[in-house]
Chains A and B, each alone.
Chain A
Amino acid sequence: MTALLCALAFLSLQAWPAPLGAPIRSWHERLSAGTEESLADVSEEVRLGREVAARLLLRYGPCDRPALARYVDLVGRSLAENSSRPELSMHFVLLDSEEAAAFAAPGGYVLVTRGALESMRDEAELAGVLAHELSHVARRHLGAELDRRGNSTERVSGLLRLLGTSPDAKHAALADRTEQSLDILLQSGLPREADAQADRDAVMLVALAGYDPSGLQRWLERRSGLKDAKASALDRTHPPARDRVGWVKDAIAQNGLAGRPLAASLSRFLEAVNGPARPGE
């Protein structure tokens, strides 16, 4: 009888995952206190992201095909449903450039060029590229690289808050971080490990959204065969495509995705890409 009651008491504890009593309230209090600080940091991240996205739009120009831009946004948002950053409003922006490139600005801004889109053959390939950039956003890879270079958003903003610096100096600090971010996105690139992680995440994200994860692999394989690939910002700032193909293949095999019948969405992609090319379509 005693053993039975002991077992029942133990099982009831296992079945009661919610914290109990006063210590639990304090845990929530601590979490809430942290949340306020974290939200301030996320706001700074979004502010930096908007600045970087605006500068990329200045460089490449927005693509004047609203229906195609909306389609890219829809594919991206279907992937973002499984993102670990629900606090961010994700924006997927189409840039008007023939150069194949895709960028992840902090705070939920993913930008992809018309040239990159035209080099793809189906929706699964587009999803793979967007998911790679989405992973950079979710894992704050750019922020980590700025941190490594000694320009941490959090550290600078925290310091400015403490010192009560003038608005002009705050704006100058943000402008500095924007320049550093653009240098990383357009010239030096993120560390190799960040790209490897983003490719592994991309496989998971596209599979969770129901797309064929080998789409990214197919697109990378085609890019590795291009002779003038070095001319593109994407190839300049990312590890060699053959290395990335290896990471994607490994992730597909490790996660039990090889040979699974997932969607490539060819018809919807062709309909969107080959649609009317004038404004007001």
Chain B
Amino acid sequence: MRRAIAVSILAAAGLVWPAALRAEPVLPWPIGLPTPSVYFVQSAKAQVRSGPSFSAPVLGEVGRAERLFSFSEAGGWVKVWFKWREGYVPAIVLAMHPPFPRAGVAKAAKESPRQMARRRLSAISAAPERGPGRPDQSRPPADEKAAYAALERAEALGATPEEFARFMATPAR
């Protein structure tokens, strides 16, 4: 019995160790088998189907940031391992990195209309330094300020989370 356990441990170590030494991806994967690609679900949720088609039965559902292992991708579907069997997920809802946070992006990129207009003005004043400017860049900043303000209004006009929740709860007919 002890011998059997020792042999099993050695066998498991043999399976794990060489795979752990590989640079990418770092997974305990048996020697000789093709290494899987790792995908992360990016959509709020995604259905896993038994075939690469919307008419195939649904095996289950996965949520955002969930990790899936795959060996192949074809025709807009990724073949993944799901609950001990083969499943298919649309490639457009997956990426090979975990979902990025949204807050940092918005904070870094969003300027007020005044900041945008000031930046635009400084771009116009810098135009002669880089050679002949395009005629479009000589547009009066007042118009542009109005456009930036319109953009901010359009961003603010979007539906509230409550309105969106109500919309999603009403099935399209």
Contacts and interface: CB of A to CB of B under 8 A. Distances in A.
Interface residues of A, number: 94
Nearest to B125: A168
B7 interface: yes
A211 interface: yes
Given A31-B98, A57-B147, A78-B168, A13 B15 contact: yes
Contacts of B105: 39, 42-43, 46, 87-89
Contacts, number: 251
Contact of A55 (B110, B124, B147): B147
B151 A254 contact: no
Nearest to A38: B100
A167 B118 CA distance: 11
A42 B116 CA distance: 18
B16 A13 contact: yes
Contact of A43 (B67, B69, B108): B108
B30 A13 contact: yes
Given A23-B20, A26-B26, A43-B105, A172 B126 contact: yes
A6 B7 CA distance: 8
Interface stretch (A140-148, A225-233, A255-263): A255-263
Interface stretch (A65-73, A216-224, A237-245): A65-73
Nearest to A34: B97
B87 to A, nearest CB: 14
A69 B147 CA distance: 17
A47 B115 CA distance: 12
Given A84-B93, A92-B158, A265-B172, A5 B122 contact: no
A204 B54 CA distance: 9
Contacts of B69: 17
A254 B53 CA distance: 7
A5 B151 contact: no
Given A87-B102, A88-B102, A172 B130 contact: yes
B153 A168 contact: no
Interface in B114-169: 116, 119-120, 122-127, 129-130, 134, 136-137, 139, 143-144, 146-148, 150-151, 153-155, 157-159, 163-164, 167-168
A276 interface: no
Contact of B8 (A5, A19, A200, A207): A5
A91 B158 contact: yes
A50 B110 contact: yes
Contact of B122 (A86, A168, A265): A168
Nearest to B21: A23
A11 B99 CA distance: 29
Given A2-B7, A57-B151, A46 B110 contact: yes
B102 A179 contact: no
B171 interface: yes
Nearest to A167: B122
B157 A69 contact: yes
Contacts of A265: 172-173
Contact of A13 (B28, B46, B94, B136): B28
10 contacts: A5-B7, A9-B8, A57-B154, A58-B144, A70-B158, A94-B154, A171-B120, A175-B127, A255-B52, A257-B54
Interface of A: 1-2, 5-6, 8-10, 13, 16-17, 19-21, 23-24, 26-27, 31, 34-35, 38-40, 42-47, 50-51, 53-55, 57-58, 61-62, 66, 69-70, 73-74, 77-78, 81-89, 91-94, 107, 123-124, 135, 138, 166-169, 171-172, 174-176, 179, 182, 200-201, 204-205, 207-208, 210-211, 251, 254-257, 260, 263-268
Which 4 A-B residue pairs are closest in the complex by CB-CB distance? A256-B53, A256-B55, A5-B8, A46-B109
Given A46-B110, A77-B158, 4 more contacts: A46-B109, A53-B154, A81-B168, A211-B172
